[in-house]
Amino acid sequence: MNGKPIALAKQLLHDANRLLFVTGAGISADSGIPTYRGVGGLYNGNLTDDGIAIEEALSGPMFDQSPEVTWKYLWQIGKACRGAEPNRAHQWLAGLENTRDEVWVMTQNVDGLHRRAGTRNLIEVHGHAYDLYCVQCQQYYDAMEWLGGYEDDLRDLPPRCTTCHGVVRPDVVLFGEMLPSRVLESFQKLAETDFDVVVSIGTSGQFPYILSAFEMARRFGKPTIDINPSVTNMTELATYHVPLGAAEAAEVLGEMNE
């Protein structure tokens, strides 16, 4: 492995005061959550028990038609998230907030590990598996309190609102759904921020709005770093590619950056 890009990326991070990190499923792999577009990593291309692709099972149209099917797999994702703990990479990013002028994390993941690590400037693009709401009356529920944090065996699905008996769902973006307006507003805020460097960790950049973070940096002449053991769409746009897993990269790049 060529160490020069790593050394250059390390120096770049050391000198930067305003940083944007874009994270995907790869950052949580070292926490025991399999990588699958940030939603749990349960099938990796294989069909579900219901004979359909996981993208279809976890889609907005499927939830509207058969919420019990979507909830079956949402529950599995919730259980995977519950059993995980923040790893060195999550902790590294949270710690940088204490030593830099401005650090933001934009994550595709719904596992909540950035929250638990202490990251404050956080945009959860696809939502959070533990934030629930009723689709009819908008009543809010906390999955940790109301569903036992997904720890128990499957109960009657879908969960029903105790106020109006409407269907309850996690506040996450299902396949085929639009991003919430609050996320789009956050994107606009980030687009107006003069970051010294933009870093991607563990994301393949399959969504255009994730790639746009690197494209934005390039327009402003700012360097970009892609941390990923594989070559992805993000790598092609990166100034430097660090071919390491997230936790290992945090150890290597964070030695003089905290």
Q: What is the CATH number of the domain that holds 67?
A: 3.30.1600.10
Distance CA 154, CA 76 (A): 9
Tell me: do 229 and 196 sit in the same domain. Answer: yes
pTM: 0.89
Query: Are residues 50 and 161 both part of a single domain?
Result: yes
Answer yes or no: are the C-beta atoms of 204 and 177 closer than 8 Å. no
From 143, 172, 201, the end of a domain falls on 172
Question: Do 134 and 184 lie in a common domain?
Answer: no
CB 8 within 8 A of CB 238: no
pLDDT at position 210 is 85
Cα dist. 80→67, 101, 170 in Å? 20, 34, 15
Catalytic residue among 14, 90, 114, 126: 126
Question: What's the structural domain count of the chain?
Answer: 2
pLDDT for the residue numbered 119? 98
Q: What is the pLDDT of residue 85?
A: 94
Residues 207 and 251 in one domain: yes
**Pair (120, 233) in one structural domain:** yes
3-state SS assignment for residue 237: helix
* Residue 126 bears catalytic tag: yes
Of the residues 144, 172, 200, the one at which a domain ends: 172
Are 226 and 247 contained in the same domain?
yes
Q: Are residues 150 and 190 in the same domain?
A: no
Mean pLDDT split into 10-residue runs, the chain, 258 residues: 81 95 93 62 66 90 96 88 91 96 94 96 93 96 86 81 96 92 86 91 87 89 95 92 96 73
Same domain, 138 and 21: no
Give the span between the Cα atoms of 248 and 120, in whole angstroms. Answer: 23
Co-location of 236 and 218 in the same domain: yes
Q: Are residues 44 and 74 in the same domain?
A: yes
Domain that holds residue 252: 1-33+86-126+178-258
- Considering the domain architecture, whether residues 155 and 166 belong to the same structural domain is answered as yes
Together in a domain, 210 and 109: yes
Predicted confidence at residue 95, as pLDDT, reads 96
Can you give the CATH number for the domain in which 109 is found? Answer: 3.40.50.1220
Question: CA–CA separation, 136 vs 167, rounded Å?
Answer: 7
Report whether 27 contacts 246 (CB < 8 A). Answer: yes
Q: How many helices (H) and strands (E) does the chain have?
A: 11, 9
Report residue 24: phi and psi, to 5°.
Answer: -125, -165
